[in-house]
Chain A
Amino acid sequence: MKPTDIGQPDYFHKVVDCQWACPAHTPVPEYIRLIAAGRYSDAYMINWQSNVFPGVLGRTCDRPCEPACRRSRVEDGESKEPVAICRLKRVAADYKDDVTARMPKPAAKKNGKRIACVGAGPASLTVARDLAPLGYDVTVFDGEKKAGGFIRSQIPKFRLPEEVIDEECGYILDLGVEFRGGQRIDSLKDLLGQGYDAIFVGSGAPRGRDLDIPGRKEAAKNIHIGIDWLSSVSFGHIDKIGRRVIVLGGGNTAMDCCRSSRRLGGEDVKVIVRSGFEEMKASPWEKEDAMHEGIPILNFLVPKEFKHVDGKLVGMVFEKVKAVYDERGRRSLVPSGEPDQHFECDDVLVAVGQENAFPWIERDAGIEFDKWGLPVLNETTFQSTLPNVFFGGDAAFGPKNIIWAVAHGHEAAVSIDRFCNGEDVAKRPPPLVNLMSQKMGIHEWSYDNAISNDVRYKVPLKDVSIALKNIKVEVELGFDPQLAFKEAQRCLNCDVQTVFTAGQCIECDACVDICPMDCITFTDNGDEAELRGRLNAPATNRTQDLYVSAELKTKRVMVKDEDVCLHCGLCAERCPTGAWDMQKFFLNTAKAGPGCRDRHLNNLAPLRQAA
Chain B
Amino acid sequence: MTYLAKPKLHHPTLAKNKRGFTRRDYEGPVSTLCAGCGHDSISAAIIQAAFNLDIEPHRVAKLSGIGCSSKTPTYFLGQSHGFNTVHGRMPSVLTGANLANRDLIYMGVSGDGDSASIGLGQFAHAMRRGVNMVYIVMNNGVYGLTKGQFSATADKGSKAKKGAINNDSPVDMVGLALQLGATFVARSFSGDKAQLVPLIEAAIAHQGAAFIDVVSPCVAFNNHPGSTKSYDYVREHNEAVNRIDFMPHREEITTEYEPGTVQEVVQHDGSVLRLRKLHTDYDPNNRIAAMNFLQEHQARGEVVTGLLYVDPDPEDLHIYANTVPVPLNALGERELCPRAAALEKINASLR
Contacts and interface: CB of A to CB of B under 8 A. Distances in A.
Given A73-B12, A553-B235, A575-B35, A509 B191 contact: yes
A517 B6 contact: no
A496 to B, nearest CB: 14
B192 to A, nearest CB: 9
Interface in A396-453: 442-443, 449-451, 453
Contact of B7 (A507, A513, A553, A566): A566
B291 interface: no
A573 B35 contact: yes
B14 interface: yes
Given A507-B191, A508-B219, A564-B11, A516 B36 contact: no
Given A507-B191, A516-B7, A517-B9, A443 B219 contact: no
A576 B11 contact: no
A509 B223 CA distance: 15
A573 B36 contact: no
Interface in A518-549: 518-519, 537-538, 540
Q: Determine the main DSSP class of B at the interface with A.
A: loop
B263 interface: no
A441 to B, nearest CB: 10
Contact of A538 (B2, B4, B13, B231): B13
Interface string B24-40: 10000010001111101
Contact of A451 (B7, B190, B191): B7
A568 B9 CA distance: 11
Contact of A576 (B36, B43, B191, B232): B36
Interface in A481-524: 506-510, 512-514, 516-519
A216 interface: no
Interface residues of B, number: 34
Contacts of A516: 6-10, 24
A574 B40 CA distance: 10
Contacts of B9: 74-76, 451, 453, 516-517, 566
B253 to A, nearest CB: 22
B44 A517 contact: no
Given A450-B4, A553-B232, A570-B4, A576 B219 contact: yes
B42 to A, nearest CB: 10
Interface size class on chain A is 35 or more
A580 to B, nearest CB: 10
B231 to A, nearest CB: 5
Interface in A553-571: 553-554, 564, 566, 568, 570
B81 interface: no
Interface of A: 73-76, 442-443, 449-451, 453, 506-510, 512-514, 516-519, 537-538, 540, 553-554, 564, 566, 568, 570, 573-577
Interface of B: 1-4, 6-14, 24, 30, 34-38, 40-41, 43-44, 190-191, 193, 217, 219-220, 223, 231-232, 235
Given A451-B9, A508-B41, A576-B37, 19 more contacts: A76-B10, A449-B4, A451-B7, A451-B8, A508-B38, A508-B190, A508-B191, A509-B193, A512-B44, A513-B41, A517-B10, A537-B13, A538-B13, A564-B12, A568-B4, A573-B35, A574-B40, A576-B34, A576-B35
Q: Lowest 8 A-B CB distances belong to which pairs?
A: A576-B36, A451-B7, A513-B44, A537-B11, A576-B219, A508-B36, A576-B35, A573-B2
